[in-house]
Amino acid sequence: MSRFWPKSLGAQLALLVALALGVAQAVNFALLLQATHRQNFVATATLAIARLGETVQRTRTGQTTPAMLRGSIATTASPLKPPMEMRADIAARAREMLEEVGIRVNRLEAAIVPASAFQVQVDNAGRLLRRAAVLRREVIVVTAEIGPRQWVTTAAPLPSLNPGVFGALIFQTMVLYGFVLLTVLWVGGKLARPLRELRLAAERFDRRQPLEPVAEQGPEDTRRLIAAFNAMRTRIVAMLDEKDRMLGAIGHDLRTPLASLRVRTELVEDEGERARMAATIDDMNRTLDDILSLARLGRPSEAEQRVDLPALVDNLVAEFEDLGADVALEDGSRLAVPMRPNLIKRAVRNLVENAVKYGGQARLRVRSEGGAALLEVDDDGPGIPEAEIARMFEPFTRLDGSRSRDTGGAGLGLALARAIVDAHGGQLTLANRAEGGLRATVRLPLGG
C-alpha cells in the first residue's frame, strides 16, 4: 500500500481529493440509479394497471376479449403463484387506481416476474411479452378476477436502464476530475516549491559558504516557517563562529604562557628534568594545535586544490623517518585529490602517530577505487576490540582510558582526523586486520 502512496505534497493532495471525489461520485451514482429505478417501477406499474383497467372495462362492456387486446390474456385462474415475486403494494395501488375510475374487481394480484418465466406459464402470451422475453427483461404483471373463474391479466415490461445515463455520469466525473485535480496539483506545486527550497537550504547548510536567506514565498504559514528557518540558521552560524573565535582565543592565549614556560625551562639545572618539562610543553602544544585545527575546520584559511596524495603522504613518511620511526609507504602511481593539503596532512599525521605509538610501526598504501582515493595505514599493534572502535572517534577517548602523558596525546587525534576527512566529504574507518594489527582507512572523493 505504502508503495503506491505518493510522497510529494501535491500528489498526496491530488490523490486524496481524487479518492474523496470518487466516493462522492459513487454515492451520486447509487442515488441516481435508485431514483431511476424507482421512477421506472412506478411508470411501468401505472402502465400495467392502466392496461388492466382498460381490459376489464372493455371485457365487461363486451367490446372485446382480452385475447384481442395488446398484452392482455384471459384465464380461468390467477396465473400468478409462488415462487413468483408477489407484490401486494402494486396490487393495492391497482385497486386504488381502478376504484378511482369506478372499476370494481374481486381479487387483485400483482407480481414482478422474468418475462421468460411468465411466458412459459402462459403460453398464449402476447407479442409484447414475447419481445420482453427476448430482451430478458422483467415484467410487472397485474391480474384481476372480474367474475367467477374469469381472470384478466395485463403486463408491462420494466425498461432496462438507459446506458446514456452512465455515459453522462462518467463524462461529468471526468470533467470534474480534470478541473479539480489540475487545480489541486497546481496548488500543491505552489505549496511545495517554497518547502522544497527550504529543504534544499537545510540540506546544503554549510557555513563555509556565504548564506543566501531563503526567499519568503508561498502562503503565510510557509512564509513564517521560512523566516523562522532563516533566523535560526543565522543564529547557528553566529554560535559556530563564536565557538571558533573562543577556541581560537583560548589557543592563542595559551600559546603565550606556554612559550614563556618553554623559555624558562632552560633555567632548570637538572638536564633530565628540563627535557621532561620541554616534552610536556611540546605535548600541550600539540593538543593546542589539534584544538585550533578543529576550530578552524569551519573556516579554513586554506584554498582547496588538487594535490598529489602519494607525494603528500611521502613527505609525511620522510618526516617520521627523520625522527627514526618505522614508517613506510608502498610504491604507487600518482593520484590527484581535491583537498586542503595542510588539513589532510594533519589528519594523516595523526593516524600515523597512532600507528607508531600503539603498533610500533606504520605501513601506508595509496590507491584509487571506485571514484575515491583510498589511503590505508596499517600497524602491527594489538588492534582495538570491535565494541570499542566507534568510541575511539569521540574526542578525549583513549583505549587505555588513562590519558597519561607517557603514551602522549589527549585523545583528540582521531576525532580531528575524522572531522577533517568528513569536511572533505570522505570517510575514515578503523578495522582490525585479519593478520593482526589495526588498519585505518581514509576514503577521499576524487571529485569530477
Partner 1 sequence: MDDKPHLLLVDDERSIREPLAAYLQRNAFRVTQAGDAAQARERLHGYAIDLVILDVMMPGEDGLSLCRHIRETSDLPVILLTAMAEETDRIVGLEMGADDYVVKPFSPRELVARIKVVLRRMGRGGGVRQRAPETGSYAFSGWVLKAGERALIDPDGVSVPLSTGEFNLMLAFATHPHQVLSRDQLLDLAYGREAHAFDRAIDNHISRLRRKVEADPKNPALIKTVWGGGYTLASDVTRL
Residues forming contacts to partner 1 in the complex (CB under 8 A) are 252, 255-264, 266-267, 278, 281, 285, 289, 301-302, 305-308, 310-312, 314-315, 318-319, 331, 334, 336, 341-342, 345
In the complex, minimum distance from the CB of residue 429 to partner 1, in angstroms, rounded to a whole number? 24
Whichever of 28 and 305 has its CB closer to partner 1, that residue is 305
Whichever of 96 and 302 has its CB closer to partner 1, that residue is 302
Tell me if 144 sits within 8 A of 52, measured CB to CB. Answer: yes
In the complex, minimum distance from the CB of residue 264 to partner 1, in angstroms, rounded to a whole number? 5
Whichever of 381 and 413 has its CB closer to partner 1, that residue is 413
Which of these, 420, 422, 421, 440, lies nearest to 430 by C-alpha position? 440
In the complex, minimum distance from the CB of residue 4 to partner 1, in angstroms, rounded to a whole number? 50
In the complex, minimum distance from the CB of residue 18 to partner 1, in angstroms, rounded to a whole number? 56
Whichever of 258 and 399 has its CB closer to partner 1, that residue is 258
Cα–Cα dist 176/369, whole Å: 56
In the complex, minimum distance from the CB of residue 377 to partner 1, in angstroms, rounded to a whole number? 18
Whichever of 303 and 434 has its CB closer to partner 1, that residue is 303
What are the residues whose beta carbons fall under 8 Å from the beta carbon of 418, sequence distance 6 or more?
393, 428
Cα–Cα dist 91/96, whole Å: 9
Cα–Cα dist 356/437, whole Å: 11
Whichever of 34 and 315 has its CB closer to partner 1, that residue is 315
Tell me if 73 sits within 8 A of 119, measured CB to CB. Answer: no
Whichever of 123 and 266 has its CB closer to partner 1, that residue is 266
Q: How far is CA 107 from CA 69, 102, 377, in A?
A: 21, 15, 109
Tell me if 73 sits within 8 A of 31, measured CB to CB. Answer: no
In the complex, minimum distance from the CB of residue 322 to partner 1, in angstroms, rounded to a whole number? 9
In the complex, minimum distance from the CB of residue 399 to partner 1, in angstroms, rounded to a whole number? 28
Widest pairwise Cα distance in the chain? 154
DSSP assignments along 173-197, one per residue: HHHHHHHHHHHHHHHHHHHHHHHHH
Cα–Cα dist 300/294, whole Å: 10
In the complex, minimum distance from the CB of residue 328 to partner 1, in angstroms, rounded to a whole number? 13
Using only C-alpha atoms, the chain has a radius of gyration, in whole angstroms, of 48
Whichever of 188 and 251 has its CB closer to partner 1, that residue is 251
Reduced to 3 states, what is the DSSP secondary structure of residue 277?
helix
In the complex, minimum distance from the CB of residue 441 to partner 1, in angstroms, rounded to a whole number? 21
Residue owning grid cell 582526523? 417
Q: Which letter, b or e, does each residue of 127-149 get, where b requires 16 or more Cβ atoms within 10 Å of its Cβ? A: ebbeebbeeebbbbbbbbbbeee
Cα–Cα dist 276/401, whole Å: 22
Whichever of 226 and 292 has its CB closer to partner 1, that residue is 292
Alpha helices in 297-434 (DSSP H): 309-322, 341-359, 413-423
In the complex, minimum distance from the CB of residue 259 to partner 1, in angstroms, rounded to a whole number? 4
Tell me if 425 sits within 8 A of 445, measured CB to CB. Answer: yes
In the complex, minimum distance from the CB of residue 427 to partner 1, in angstroms, rounded to a whole number? 22
Question: Hey, which residues does 49 pair with through a beta bridge?
Answer: none
In the complex, minimum distance from the CB of residue 196 to partner 1, in angstroms, rounded to a whole number? 37
- Sheet containing 72-75: which strands, arranged edge to edge? 72-75, 150-157, 138-147, 108-114, 85-86
Whichever of 142 and 375 has its CB closer to partner 1, that residue is 375
Whichever of 348 and 417 has its CB closer to partner 1, that residue is 348
**The residue type at 84:** M
